[in-house]
Amino acid sequence: MAIRREQVLAFRLASHGLHGRTKSLVEAAARCGIQETPLGTSVLAFHARVDGLTAEKLEKALSKDRTLIALWAMRGAPHVVPATDLGIFTTGALPLDGESLRQTLGGWAAALDKADLDPFHVIDKLVDAAKKLLDGKSMDVNELRDRLYGRLPSLHRIKRPESARDDMPEPLFRAVGTTGAVCIVSGRGTESVMARTDQWLKRRPAPRDPDETRAELARRFLHCYGPGTAQHFAEWTQRSLADAKQAIELIEGELVEVKMAGKRALLLAADERDLESPPEAKGVHLLPVQDPYLQQRDRATLLPDQLARRRLWQAVRGPGALLVDGVVIGTWRGRVNGQRWEVELEPFGRLLAKVRDAISDEAGTMAPLKGCSSAVVEVSG
């Protein structure tokens, strides 16, 4: 089956819940997790998907009801995921072997080799130490990092790469979260407070077979980003291509092959009908930087124009995406100025007056989420 770009994008928008808002925070997070970097962006990503969202509702789900949980998941980045899906976004996202783990470690991989340290062994030691340090209590993330580093003398043999800021290998530290051992219970970023996941959750999900969680993560990836390839899955999870292929092979019987832009790609057979006739996306969304929809690895499918891609996907402090009727037509940045939420747009072309009005309305619904009473939209460029 050969498919068109417009079909693919309409299907992905629907898979991400951007064709119409849901009432359920859990449903929104279950698709592929909601990333919480930069700080304060997850609430905006939820807002694009959940009707009637308030900051208080999100915080209640995280802190009181604990139906959602924040932890380090894919790519070592903090994500908000359903508590019931803990295994999928933790053990399901862990690299399978040493070569795959090197993708996650980045510049630290060579440093660990020179110190003659097995990263999987180190992660096990860190998990054991973290469970003891956090038994019955929570701890500031910086204190936890320092105390873990002090408890494992073998880490002191590692020579810090030039690009690193701390002696503790940050990817290994974050992997403690991706094992499912620890979670973020309050605050964000450098002000996070950590706790043991098994003691934080009111109802800890029953352990699942690692192959089952790996298979389910691959399934959810292809549902949100399909048609896709093993290479796309490898990049999204930050694992080796061989590891990604192995995970996808676990659901091989559920897949069909399609042609997209003349190239072969994989799709869940269960999604074939939805891809053939996806719902039409309407309305305006101001998607934050690192929004799940913007995590598509085949970026040229989302934005064929190379200059537009450079403007949207920037290495440092990138903007969000202005999505109108399912099409990315520009970028945006927001900031809090007193009680006012200020949104600056950089459209790729001319904005019609009715579109500008709709954007202003959408910015106004976002203002309370940022603690503001009003919003103002300005267009630059």
pLDDT for position 57: 97
Burial (Cβ within 10 Å: 0-12, 13-18, ≥19) of residue 317:
exposed
| First-residue to last-residue Cα distance in the chain | 41
Which residues lie across from 126 on neighbouring strands? none
- What residues have CB less than 8 Å from 285, skipping those under 6 apart? 18, 48, 323, 362
pLDDT for position 316: 85
pLDDT for position 166: 85
Domain boundaries, the chain: 2-200, 303-379
pLDDT mean by block of 10 residues, the chain; 381 residues: 88 96 97 93 97 96 96 96 96 94 92 95 97 97 96 94 88 96 89 95 84 98 98 97 98 95 94 94 95 97 96 93 97 97 96 96 97 96 68
Contact 11, 278 (CB under 8 A): yes
pLDDT for position 1: 66
Please name the helix (run of DSSP H) or strand (run of DSSP E) that holds residue 219, with its range, or none: helix 210-225
Q: DSSP per residue over 264-312, as a string?
A: EEEEEGGGHHHHHSPPPP-SEEEEPTT-GGGG-S-HHHH---HHHHHHH
What is the Cα–Cα distance from 165 to 66, expressed in whole angstroms?
A: 33
pLDDT for position 293: 98
